[in-house]
Amino acid sequence: MGKFNQREMIYEGKAKRLYATDDPDIVVVEYKDSFTAFNGEKRAEMSGKGRLNNLISSEIFGHLAKSGIPLHFIERVDELRQLARRVKIFPLEVVLRNITTGSIVKRLGVAEGAKLPRPLVEFYYKDDALGDPIVTEDHALIFGWATEGEIKQIKEITLKVNDLLKNLFSKLGIVLVDFKLEFGRAGDGALLLADEISPDTCRFWDSSTGDRLDKDRFRKDLGNVLGAYEEIWRRLGGRAN
Ligand code: UDP
Q: Is 179 exposed, middle or buried (0-12, 13-18, 19+ CB in 10 A)?
A: buried
Residue nearest to atom 11 of ligand 1 (CA): 201
Domain boundaries, the chain: 9-87, 88-224
Distance 155 CA to ligand 1 centre (A): 17
* pLDDT value, residue 14: 94
Residue nearest to atom 7 of ligand 1 (CA): 201
**Of all atoms in ligand 1, which is nearest to the CA of residue 104?**
20
Identical fold for domains 9-87 and 88-224, yes or no, is no
Tell whether domain 9-87 is in CATH 3.40.190.80.
no
**Of all atoms in ligand 1, which is nearest to the CA of residue 105?**
20
User: Probe ligand 1: pick from 41, 95, 161, 176, max atoms within 8 Å of CB?
Assistant: 95
pLDDT tens for the chain, 241 residues long, are 668 999 999 999 999 999 999 999 999 999 999 999 998 899 999 999 999 999 999 999 999 999 999 999 999 999 999 999 999 999 999 999 999 999 999 999 999 999 999 999 999 999 999 999 999 999 999 999 999 999 999 999 999 999 999 999 999 999 999 999 999 999 999 999 999 999 999 999 999 999 999 999 999 999 999 999 999 999 999 975 5
Q: What is the 3-state secondary structure (H, E, C) of the chain?
A: CCCCCEEEEEEECCCEEEEEECCCCEEEEEECCEEEECCCCEEEECCCHHHHHHHHHHHHHHHHHHCCCCECEEEECCCCEEEEECEEECCEEEEEEEECCCHHHHHHCCCCCCEEEEEEEEEEECCHHHCCCEECHHHHHHCCCCCHHHHHHHHHHHHHHHHHHHHHHHCCCEEEEEEEEEEEEECCCCEEEECCCCCCCEEEEECCCCCECCCHHHHCCCCCHHHHHHHHHHHCCCCCC
Could you name the CATH architecture of 88-224? Answer: 2-Layer Sandwich (3.30)
Residues in the chain: 241
Ligand 1 pocket, Cβ-based, cut-off 6 angstroms: 93, 95, 102-104, 132, 178-180, 201-203, 215
Half-sphere exposure of 209 (CA within 13 A, CB side): 4
* Cut 0.75: pTM above it: yes
* pLDDT value, residue 70: 98
* pLDDT value, residue 3: 81
* pLDDT value, residue 241: 54
User: Probe ligand 1: pick from 178, 195, 212, 232, max atoms within 8 Å of CB?
Assistant: 178
